Amino acid sequence: MRAAPKPRCPPRSPVSVRYGLLHAQLALALSSHDRDAVLAMLVQLLADSPR
């Protein structure tokens, strides 16, 4: 019997640097089955935010 494949994990993000926690959370969200929804929310947030 073949072993189940390991889940694909994003590379580690340095949470101690500026925006490190945001980077880690985005990496996790973008590697999940909700990737398209996360990308859509991110695009909407960027479109709605003033410069």
Residue 32 maps to a domain:
yes
CA distance 18 to 10: 19
Establish if 4 belongs to a structural domain.
no
pLDDT tens-place string over residues 1-51: 677 776 666 667 677 889 999 988 998 999 999 999 999 999 999 999 997
- Does residue 41 lie in a domain region? yes
* Cβ within 8 Å of residue 27, ≥6 positions away: 10, 11, 13
Which of 23, 26, 3 lies closest to 13, judged by CA?
23
Question: Within a 13 Å sphere around the CA of 34, how many CA atoms are in the beta-carbon half?
Answer: 9
Q: Which pLDDT belongs to residue 3?
A: 75
Residue 42 belongs to domain spanning: 18-51
First to last CA, the chain: 55
Domain contains 38: yes
Query: How many separate domains does the chain show?
Result: 1
Give a yes or no: residue 8 inside a domain. no
